Every structure is written in C-alpha cells, then in structure tokens.
Amino acid sequence: MAQEKLIALQKADLHRRLYPTERRSGMAANRDGAALLSFSDNDYLGLSTHPSVIRTATKAVETYGASAGASRLVSGNHPLYDAFESRLAAFKSCEAALVFGSGYLANIGTIPVFAGPQDVIFIDELAHACLFAGAQLSRAQIQCFAHNDMAHLGHLLARHRHAHRHALILTDGVFSMDGDQAPLKDIHSLAKTHDAWLMVDDAHGLGVLGNGHGTAFSQGVQPDLMMGTLSKALGSYGGYVAGSHAVVDLLRNRARSLVYTTGLPPSALAAAHASLEIISMEPERCARPLALARRFCQTLGLPAPQSAVVPLIIGSPQKAMDAQEKLQQAGFLVVAIRPPTVPENTARLRFSFSATHQEKDVDRLCQSIKNLGLSP
C-alpha cells in the first residue's frame, strides 16, 4: 500500500524528500554538496545565529540542563518559562501568554478548548494547515470563507452564527504561502457584530510588521486570541498563545497538546527571550525584511509585498521543481511549494527575505530570475 501511494505521488510530481543540509550559517546553506544563498528560510531577522542569542541559549543549558524532563504540569515548568511568558505578554499588549511545544501544537491544542460540537468555526480558505487541524479536532461545524472576502464571511456569519452556542473566526495574520495580510480590522468588526471570537495565527508577522509587534498591532486590532511561533523571527523553537488571564489559565488546564507534552528545552526559551529583547531594541532590523521584499518586487515588476514573503506563481508542480533546480544551479536555495500546501495549478517559488540578506544579494537574485526567464 505504501509503495503504491509513493508511486502515485511521484507520477504527480508531488513526491518530497529530505535534503541533507550539511551546515546552515545565516542565509548560507549547503544542499547536496552545493553552497547556496537561501531565500527560503523563515529566520526573518537572522536571530537564530545571533551571537547574543547563542550565548544566552548556551548559558541556559549549563544552568538548567538540556531538557525540561517532563510536561509543564508535572515538573517541566522551569524558571525560564515565567520570565519569557511575562515578557511576551507585555510585548503583545496582553494580560498573559502561554508557550507550547510548537506553533502546530499551539493551534491544535487551543482551538478545541474554545470550540466544540455545539459551536461553529469560520476559517479563511487559505489558513495554515494547523488551523484547519485544530478546527477539525474541535468537532465544531466548519464554514470556510473565500480568501480575505469580507462579504462572504459576513454572509456566512449571518446565515450560521445564530444556530450555534459559540463562534470562532480563524485566520492567518500573514498568509505563509502568499505573503498577504488578512484585513483584521474588518474581520474584528464582523466578529463583534456577530458575537464571535477572533483568533489570529501571526507566525509570519511577529518580528516583521508593526515594529516587530506583529500584524494585529500594525493594523490597530486586538484579537481575542493571538497565536505565533518562536521558530521564525525569534530564531528559536516553540509556539505561544496570548490573551487574557482567563484564556491562558483555561489553556493550562484543558489544552491537551500542552498538558500531555514535555516542556521545551531551557535553551529554546532562553534563545527566544534574548531574541525578543533584540526585537524590542532594534526596530530597524524588523523593518529590513519588508524593505528588501519591496526592492525585489519593484525590480521584477511584481505587486508590492505586504510582508517578507513573496510568491512567484509557476503553475504545475514539475515546472516549479524545474525552476527550483535552475535557481539552485545559479547559487540560490528557493524551494518550490506544491499542492496540497497550495491550491492546484498554483505551484510556486516562495521567496522569503531576511534582515541578514544584503541589497546586492537581492539584486543578484533578481538578475538570475530574469536570465532564466522566470520573471512575469
């Protein structure tokens, strides 16, 4: 059975493999023995290799050990958790924050706590897979609205909200494969009108938008539930949810992906905390990824970007893989994204920009894209 399924994936040009990356240093990567400049990392601020972050993480290992040793509710809630969660809550202008083992775990644990079989969830059709996974685990009725289509969302709310106990609206802040932002002000207004809660996954907005505070801050909105990761702009690993004291206390008691998972290693919390301090002190670092994305788009005649993520739609999976190979031969790592991660016939190259990229790197990438005939 497994072999048959693999053959089907190969025939559809959807088979994936893990590439051995011998070493990663900033945006420099080594794939299949080739030295490449990566435009596929989500390390938007280059903090995963920042000397201060590394020193802080190393000290945490020396002080607290390499592992939490147990779930947080047993004995794995080491002192670094309280310090980081308090700092993160203040940074997100929330009463409290709660760290999970990953962003995926945060979403699949949080959504079922706030929605169940008697409730309804409204979710953007292009929301991240872990938001859909959490919605499915909740056993609530799921209503998908067309991407960023407020008229459709309003229609669905008017039609379905009244028949359910509670309602929850789910959306990305920055959509990870398209790089566009959700219109959070409009969604928030609809949520209030129809007595629904709004949860925003801002994994790709934190550290990049709103002087680093994220998409909701940049749009002047305060959602009921704000989720994000420690593994992108913060250069570490883990996930979080920020909200009221009551929200966080309930999650501590009922989020299964927190209760039944070993706590994060102390080094991950220490690194994330150090990165958060750098973000707070260096707004110019936070502004740089979007500035480089704008340079890229302007040079290639692409629409102005809304984040550090820029897609170049290719079409078929095979053409996208061919484009990836051509850029690799030119010295760049730009990974092709294929269905089911993106809709059919929208396979693409996904470019992500980091504060550690140089203008000359972006210009050289643009020239290679033009030379290879990949530009629009």
**Hey, which residues are catalytic here?**
176, 204, 232
* C-beta of residue 120 within 8 angstroms of C-beta of residue 143: yes
Q: Please, is 206 exposed, middle or buried when counting C-beta atoms within 10 Å of its C-beta (0-12, 13-18, 19+)?
A: buried
Tokens of 121: 């969830």
Tokens of 35: 């030295």
The strand pair at 347-352 and 336-337 is best described as antiparallel
What DSSP assignment string belongs to 269-336?
Answer: HHHHHHHHHHHHH-HHHHHHHHHHHHHHHHHHTPPPPSSSEEEEEEESHHHHHHHHHHHHHTTEE--E
Q: Which residue has the tokens 């008691």?
A: 253
Cα–Cα dist 131/175, whole Å? 12
What DSSP assignment string belongs to 143-212?
Answer: EEE-TT-HHHHHHHHHHHGGGSS-EEEEEESB-TTT-PBP-HHHHHHHHHHTT-EEEEE-TTTTTTSGGG
What DSSP assignment string belongs to 210-243?
Answer: GGGT-HHHHHT---SEEEEESSSTT-S--EEEEE
Q: Sheet containing 309-315: which strands, arranged edge to edge? A: 309-315, 347-352, 336-337
- Cα dihedral 244, 245, 249, 252, rounded to 10, equals 60
Residue 230 half-sphere exposure toward CB, CA atoms < 13 A: 32
Query: Which H or E run includes 135?
Result: helix 129-138
